[in-house]
Amino acid sequence: MAAVEAVEDKDLIDRAWAAAATVADPEIPVLSIADLGVLRDVRVSGDRIEAVITPTYSGCPAMNTIALNLEVALEEAGFRNPRITTVLSPAWTTDWITEAGREKLRAYGIAPPQGKAGRRALFGEDRVACPHCGSSETQRISEFGSTACKALWRCRACAEPFDYFKCI
């Protein structure tokens, strides 16, 4: 009987994960919360589905919207009363952005984070490739971009400004 329950739970989790993964990040709508790495887990908790999310930083203003949109997506997929749990540990890093997510950022005109999160991330990147033309002849204009997780850069080759998703 336990094996049957495990298969049923896996099917439920797969269906719930697929529904949850359709939720877009409200600040960068080309990314799903799965692409961004904010969607951490989907599990069966008692008689209902629980989705676990982690904010990109503890004060992220988008988390309430993400939680609400996630709840709606799960309910529309047939899950009654889904539980949305926010966890802060381990802390989210840009290492959690999927490769598909990085490509979506680049195609959208946002330079994805380069390298791994760590000490270097605290002191800025030497070169950030322009998402428009690919040139590494770029310069940071401001540490603060359109959202707290991005910095404003400009390409010296094509003269286009762009956001750089900071390596956190």
Quote the Cα angle for 153-157-117, to 5°: 40
Residue 4 is predicted with a pLDDT of 39
What distances in angstroms separate CA 2 from CA 34, 65, 93, one per listed residue? 29, 37, 36
Comparing 57-61, 127-131, 158-162, the range with the smallest average pLDDT is 57-61
Q: What mean pLDDT, rounded, does the chain reach?
A: 89
Question: Which residues, 6 or more positions from 31, have their beta carbon under 8 angstroms from its beta carbon?
Answer: 24, 25, 97, 101, 104, 105
> Does the N-terminal peptide bond of residue 29 adopt cis geometry, omega within 30 degrees of 0?
no
Q: What is the pLDDT of residue 2?
A: 46
9 within 8 A of 63, measured Cβ to Cβ: no
Domains of the chain: 2-92 (3.30.300.130), 97-165 (no CATH)
Question: Is 90 exceeded by the pLDDT of residue 77?
Answer: yes
DSSP symbol at 24: B
Helix/strand/coil percent split, the chain, to 5: 30, 20, 45
Per-residue pLDDT tens digits for 16-47: 999 999 999 999 999 999 999 999 999 987 78
CA-CA-CA-CA torsion sign (157, 158, 159, 161):
negative
Angle at 14 between CA 8 and CA 19, to 5 degrees: 130
Across 52-72, average pLDDT: 93
pLDDT at 1 > cutoff 60: no
DSSP string, 25-82: PSSSTTSBHHHHT-EEEEEEETTEEEEEE--SSTT-TTHHHHHHHHHHHHHHTT-SS-
Nearest-angstrom CA–CA distance, 49 and 8: 12
- Confidence tier at 5 by pLDDT (50, 70, 90): low
Q: What's the pLDDT at 3?
A: 47
Q: Is the pTM of this model over 0.85?
A: no
Q: What is the pLDDT of residue 99?
A: 96
In one letter, which amino acid is 146?
Answer: S
